[in-house]
Amino acid sequence: MSLLERIDGPRDLKALPAAQLPALADEIRAFLVDQVSRTGGHLGPNLGVVELTIALHRVFDSPTDTVVFDTGHQSYVHKLLTGRRDFSALRKQGGMSGYPSRAESPHDVVENSHASTSLSWAHGIAAGRVVRGERNRHTVAVIGDGALTGGMAWEAINNIAAEDDLPLVLVVNDNERSYAPTRGGLADHLATLRTTRGYERFLDWGKRNVSRTPVVGGAMYETLHGVKKGIKDIVAPQGMFEDLGLKYIGPVDGHDEPALEAALRKARAFGGPVLVHVLTQKGRGYDPAITDEADQFHAVGVINPETGLPLEIAGRSWTDEFAETMVALGEERRDVVAITAAMMMPVGLQPFCDRFPERTFDVGIAEQHAMTMAAGLAFSGLHPVVAVYATFLNRAFDQLLMDCALHRAGVTVVLDRSGVTGPDGASHHGMWDMTISGVVPGLHLAAPRDGQQVARAVRAAVAIDDAPSVVRFPKGTVAEPIEAVRTVGGVDVLAEPDADAVDVLLVGVGSMAATALTAAEKLTAEGHRVRVVDPVWALPVPDEVVTLARAAGRVAVVEDNVVVGGIGSQVTQALRDAGLDQPVDVFGLPKRFLEHASRGQVLDAAQLTPDAVATRLRDRLA
């Protein structure tokens, strides 16, 4: 039996002799490479936290003590050490989640995989236990992969530092990266912490030299004490944390398990908030990850474990279409600039950055700042393009509304991974963005139906200089181009009978246009007259959609957004405002959190397949 097979929980780990821990770490890394290469998942981050997670579970008593993981994708080792060794269906329907999951284990607490939230969660848990008189229970927040660049983390630190007796440990997993190397002033500060000798050692040096040169050495020693604060800020920049009121321990080698245990035990015994600064290497122990300068295997698909190369070569992606368009626009227009929140490569801005580095801004995990900075860039005469995952638009809604829309800022927001994303689960589905966008006055939203339409939509969006614009598209390989039969105003008619009047006007939004077309084919084969349109620009609802609706017995909208407040709701309102009373059927995602599964499985469960849409419409047309 391997060491890993003997561990069903933290108790078993604590019983393991310290001399066997290096072998256990090796087993865990081999297990992760073998298993994640079969399923895909977040490999690099987990290879980097093996010793840290071992030390956490040897020092603290989970689940009595609570461990909260920021960007919960770094929790695979935690899952292993809490008895979950079946990774065969990782991130697949019915299998283990790629993030902490309360349904899986009492050791898991925070399921939200949006970054920079762990310190607020931990503060609330620790403070709540103090109120309940449970001071013997510790709370640990593990924040890493660039999440400390998020403003919410610093709001939490500001409050945590004011509470002297809170049994709370903040572990900064510093691997210098999020997806790519972390940028910004905080990243520079942490880099200084990694490379600077502590000021206490500097003072010790002064003490040792007093006996050698009594006058100079003594004067130096007195001077050092007289300007201790200044010297501290120069040679021990941990002073930033200590000046806030947080005890600082580190930096600690994140791959030296005994050193980690010692630091964590010291932090646990302190009795108040402590920050433990841990240095780790993303992708540790796996050569393909270490040598990958792009993202060190932050997230991988199915790969060959020996080489790290993908086993499936994907076709051209939606992101590729956007990336190519941005470079072309950059060549044509000097006023086009790009902003992203620590996701330069995943959202396709790396080629633009390589070509126009001075016109590219990576603000770290700070979507709110990105959006308001974009408003400022627009005011200065530029046209910013903010590219983020659709799920992260949620975090910047106030800035989109009050800083961009209220000020009529010409800002373009490009939302990658919109709609159903699949295996990353509830917090990563981009299913809220059209509802959010729909309440913003003056906002324009385009949902391209195929790769060719991505370029057209982005070009049209950056031509809008008096309001925010949004372009959204899904994850994965682009669909085959769908040519329009004709265009009415700005609305593309994709299929229609040889008659003006139709039984149903079927509106396919974005990538769901293909679903609408196939559903229409099924209904047409049964004798129903169906006209299929793609509004191209879904918000505001084009007048031409209302015009076409006048000739239809009913209207149906198919979208991969939550059904409440989405495009279907907007179309319904537009028809009512025009005095039309045709029934409107809305086919979208249910208002609930959707579990991880493949995109196809999620759409099937939501009845957003061509067969399901055709069946439901057939019943209403009868």
Feature table: binding site for Mg(2+): 145, 175
Contact call for residues 324 and 350 (beta carbons, < 8 A) = no
530 phi and psi, to 5 degrees?
-130, 130
- In whole angstroms, give the CA distance from residue 470 to residue 330: 18
Integer CA distances (angstroms), 13 to 3, 23, 24, 76, 255, in order: 9, 13, 10, 16, 17
Annotated active-site residue 395? The verdict is: yes
214-226 and 228-235 helices cross at what angle (nearest 10)? 80
58, 177, 232, 395: the active-site residue: 395
Letter for the amino acid at 575?
A: L
Residues placed in the known binding site: 73, 113-115, 145-147, 175, 286, 367
Annotated active-site residue 367? The verdict is: yes
27, 257, 261, 367: the active-site residue: 367
Residues placed in the known binding site for thiamine diphosphate: 73, 113-115, 146-147, 175, 286, 367
Contacts (Cβ under 8 Å, ≥6 apart) of 51: 21, 25, 254, 255, 256, 257, 260
282, 284, 359, 475: the active-site residue: 282
- In whole angstroms, give the CA distance from residue 240 to residue 342: 23
Query: In terms of DSSP H, where are the helices of 182-244?
Result: 185-195, 199-210, 214-226, 228-235, 239-244
Could you tell me how many helices (H) and strands (E) the chain has, helices first?
25, 18
Annotated active-site residue 261? The verdict is: no
Contact call for residues 321 and 315 (beta carbons, < 8 A) = no
Integer CA distances (angstroms), 258 to 2, 22, 50, 133, in order: 22, 10, 13, 32
Residue with tokens 């009978």: 497
Contact call for residues 379 and 407 (beta carbons, < 8 A) = yes
Contacts (Cβ under 8 Å, ≥6 apart) of 152: 116, 117, 119, 120
Give catalytic residues, as residue numbers.
Answer: 282, 367, 395
